[in-house]
A = this chain, B = another copy of it.
């Protein structure tokens, strides 16, 4: 079987024999930056149909065409896990999105809390980071990055069947909580650097489906806490061996 070193997410149906037109920036990346040409093989995935080996059948400066030759991997959906986080500085916010995609979150929701420093995000830029991370990590699914929403509003419309694990000064370890609660649908909520406000903590602690957990004796930065919490969850309830 041919091996493709480049993986590309495309928003297009994929099947053997299917032709996929390339957008201008994809063509620039493949043919300009990566110096691929006609006859080269690229791995394509679209979050729906799995991964396909596609041949470059036409290469131009402003576009091109790939043709799917064979299916190389089935779609592997991540577990039904959302990551909710309060945006922080640009680099660290980018990292959180990248990490969440690598770690196998299904959906990434930036939330604005009482102590959130950053009141705006560039959803399109964050989504592009998630795409790039999925391309890099060999996943066949790109988590959707939602628009920034207030934590208040998010909780008002919350599906009570989705458990929330939130990191707070708790005395109970995350593994213990996950072992006791189980449940299929989950979200991990990472607070802002200043922590949750008293009102938010009170509200969260009162929700029957929200569970405070500890992530060790040191105070983790938000980006570290995101990866650590995703690790604990994936190990215990997710798709890790």
Contact B224 A103, beta carbon cutoff 8 Å: yes
**A99 cross-chain contacts in B, Cβ below 8 A:** 224, 227
Q: How many residues of A are counted as interface, with CB atoms below 8 angstroms from the partner's CB atoms?
A: 38
**A240 cross-chain contacts in B, Cβ below 8 A:** 173, 214-217
A207 within 8 Å of B (CB atoms): no
**A220 cross-chain contacts in B, Cβ below 8 A:** 102-103, 137
Contact residue among B171, B218, B224, B241 (Cβ-Cβ distance under 8 Å from A171): B241
Name the CB-closest residue of B to A238.
B216
A25 within 8 Å of B (CB atoms): no
A195-231 interface bits toward B, Cβ cutoff 8 Å, 1 = contact, 0 = none: 0000000000000000000111111110010011011
**A171 cross-chain contacts in B, Cβ below 8 A:** 241
A76 within 8 Å of B (CB atoms): yes
Contacts A227-B227, A241-B214 given; indicate if A221 touches B102 (C-beta within 8 A). yes
Contact B224 A138, beta carbon cutoff 8 Å: no
Contact A216 B241, beta carbon cutoff 8 Å: yes
Q: How far is the CA of A219 from the CA of B73 in the complex (A)?
A: 15
Contacts A228-B227, A241-B214 given; indicate if A219 touches B137 (C-beta within 8 A). yes
State the Cβ distance, A182 to closest chain B Cβ, in Å: 17
A80-97 interface bits toward B, Cβ cutoff 8 Å, 1 = contact, 0 = none: 000000000001000100
A139 within 8 Å of B (CB atoms): yes
A104 within 8 Å of B (CB atoms): yes
**In chain A between 108 and 151, which residues have their CB closer than 8 angstroms to a CB of chain B?**
136-139
Q: How far is the CA of A218 from the CA of B137 in the complex (A)?
A: 5
Between A and B, 19 residue pairs with Cβ closer than 8 Å are: A76-B217, A98-B221, A99-B227, A103-B224, A104-B217, A137-B220, A171-B241, A172-B241, A173-B235, A173-B240, A173-B241, A214-B241, A216-B234, A216-B240, A217-B239, A217-B240, A227-B227, A228-B230, A235-B235
Given contacts A102-B218, A139-B218, 8 further A-B contacts (CB under 8 A): A102-B219, A137-B218, A176-B241, A214-B240, A215-B240, A227-B228, A228-B228, A228-B231
